[in-house]
Amino acid sequence: MFNQEFLESHDIIPAFMPADLSTTANTGDRVNLQNYERCTFVLLASIGTAGDDPVISALQHDAATSGNSKALNFTRIRHKVGATDLDTVGQFSLVEQSAASSYDTGGIDGAENEALIAVEVRASDLDTENGFTFVSFDVADVGSNTQLGAGLYILQGAGYVNEIRESAIA
């Protein structure tokens, strides 16, 4: 009996490595969703300074580099937020917003807490008719105070299952 492993139908790619979110805008690498159904962006952020809340933005692109870019709207954000012990927060909470291409974590005190934030988009949300098959997520500069963070992409629903898949890295 075949037992499909997680990484045979999914992929995990760094959007950006651990960095101080206050030094500059944190631009996520582009990933190609041409062979996947969904992309979940995960932001893991440490405690920062009140008011320096991370703002997450989503973009779609028609090329791996350069090319054309435009906003990618999303409505659902899941998060785990904890003052010091994020590992004790059991379930994700759900925030729903009107369709927008960004989410300001100020409403969940994103700077005052440790946070694990996930935003999911579907490949079908992209303007594929005009060649937009790449996606990226960015986190704006949070301000002048140090706050560590890292971003990951989890790609789901591979168009084919294989032990070694074609890379989605742009």
Q: pLDDT tier at 165 (50, 70, 90 boundaries)? A: low
Per cent of the chain over pLDDT 90 is: 74
pLDDT at 145 over 60: yes
Q: What is the mean pLDDT of residues 139-152?
A: 94
Q: Is the dihedral of CA 159, 78, 16, 64 positive or negative?
A: positive
pLDDT at 103 over 90: yes
pLDDT at 108 over 60: yes
pLDDT at 144 over 60: yes
Task: Tell me 87's DSSP state.
Answer: G
Cβ–Cβ under 8 Å, residues 170 and 135 = no
Q: What is the mean pLDDT of residues 88-98?
A: 92
pLDDT of residue 85: 77
pLDDT of residue 114: 92
Mean pLDDT, the chain, as a whole number?
A: 91
Report the candidate in 103, 170, 87 with the shortest Cα–Cα distance to residue 140: 103
Q: Which of 50-64, 82-96, 128-142 has the lowest mean pLDDT?
A: 82-96
* Cβ-proximal residues to 87 (8 Å cutoff; 6+ apart), any chain: none
Domains of the chain: 12-156 (2.60.120)
In tens, the pLDDT along 32-61 reads 999 899 999 999 999 999 999 999 999 999
pLDDT at 24 over 90: no
- Of 166 and 106, which is predicted with more confidence? 106
C-alpha to C-alpha distance for 23 and 148, rounded to whole angstroms: 10
pLDDT of residue 84: 75
Report the candidate in 112, 50, 49 with the shortest Cα–Cα distance to residue 83: 112
User: pTM for this structure?
Assistant: 0.90
